[in-house]
Amino acid sequence: MKSVRFSRFGGPEVLEVVDLPDPHPGPGRIRVAVRAAGVNASDWKKRAGLMDEGLPQTLGHEAAGVVDEVGEGVTDVSVGDRVVGLSEHGGAQAELAVLSYWAPLPASVRFADAAALPAALETAARGLDRLGVGGGTVLLVNGASGNVGSAAVQLAVARGARVIGTAGPARHAYVRGLGAEPVAYGPTLVPAVRALAPGGVDRALDVAGSGALPDLVDLTGGPERVVTLSDVAGAREHRVAFSRGDDGRALYVLADLGELIATGRLALPQVHTFPLDQVARAHHFGESGHATGKIVLVNA
């Protein structure tokens, strides 16, 4: 099968599409013929040598496709079913991928749109769970217009929370459309939030990692009311919880994906698609800083 791989660290030019042996699912796993695979910022961090040391490496943890092989004990899907899910050990940016977690994909949802969702949804739900966000919670999401931030806003609204979200002025209309009240980043953040919520903010979720943790602690009244998904150093400095998944995954959210879309509680993100063999171009585009929405690699 064709798969994205790199054998040395560096820029997008180190990425190759190579022939690798077909994977096969073990017990409790399935294999899919990948129609679309999500690309995340962690991919170029790995490629640059900022995360995992081993070489060579394959990429990709989220994919949508058609089941073509099932492992022992799997009874909820059959060969030919449309699914979307996560690959625990990576390698989803390929023609074939073994998925560890999956959910049925409604026929009305394109593979490329579905592949943009699993990682963002799981990350967002995990952050909300860690904060205990529910009905009546006043939540501040720092970085509300990105993939994870927009998922967090929509999931929080679906739980009955009131959401205030930070974003650049050009993205305020988008954030408002997700169900949040937008405010700008920067020195006006604290007074703007206090004007919107004179009674205070109950919890804050930091997605952007933009150095806003002191303001979030100030607005919520304590570091125990804040979770960051992106600022490791800031979390240590300000005694804020940092969630990267080793504190438990919110994989249950995948099972709700179809219903969330069908009921209009989850808007599909904007996607930019690239053929699998143009993965280097996809990385260039993602790292340019001009991309809004999600980058997805597609197989014909």
Does residue 22 fall inside a structural domain?
yes
What does the CA dihedral 187, 123, 150, 288 come to, rounded to 10 degrees?
A: 70
Does residue 259 fall inside a structural domain?
no
197: part of which helix (H) or strand (E)? none
Cα-to-chain-centroid distance, residue 283:
16
Contact between 63 and 99 (Cβ < 8 Å): yes
Write out pLDDT tens, residues 207-258: 998 899 999 999 999 999 999 998 989 999 999 999 987 778 899 998 888 7
> Which of 185, 193, 190, 183 shows the shortest CA–CA distance to 211?
185
95 vs 46, 68, 180, 296, CA distance in Å? 21, 12, 38, 14
Does residue 18 fall inside a structural domain?
yes
Domain boundary among 200, 227, 242: 242
Q: Would you call 44 helix, strand, or coil by DSSP?
A: helix
Q: What is the largest CA-CA distance in the chain?
A: 59
Same domain, 32 and 85: yes
Same domain, 129 and 106: no
Rg over CA atoms, the chain: 19
Query: Which parts of the chain fold into alpha helices (H)?
Result: 41-47, 111-115, 118-131, 147-158, 172-178, 189-196, 213-220, 232-238, 257-262, 279-287
Same domain, 72 and 179: no
Same domain, 79 and 15: yes
Confidence band of 265 (pLDDT split at 50, 70, 90): confident
Same domain, 98 and 137: no
Domain limits for position 49: 2-117+268-298
Domain boundary among 225, 242, 259: 242
Q: What is the CATH number of the domain that holds 210?
A: 3.90.180.10
- What is the number of domains present in the chain? 2
Identify the pLDDT of residue 202.
98
Higher pLDDT, 245 or 51: 51
Contact between 100 and 87 (Cβ < 8 Å): yes
User: DSSP for 73-113?
Assistant: T--S--TT-EEEEE-TT---SBSEEEESEEEE--TTS-HHH
Does residue 89 fall inside a structural domain?
yes
Does residue 68 fall inside a structural domain?
yes
Same domain, 110 and 144: no
Q: How far is residue 168's CA from residue 27's CA, in Å, rounded to a whole number?
A: 46
What is the mean pLDDT of the segment spanning 277-282?
97
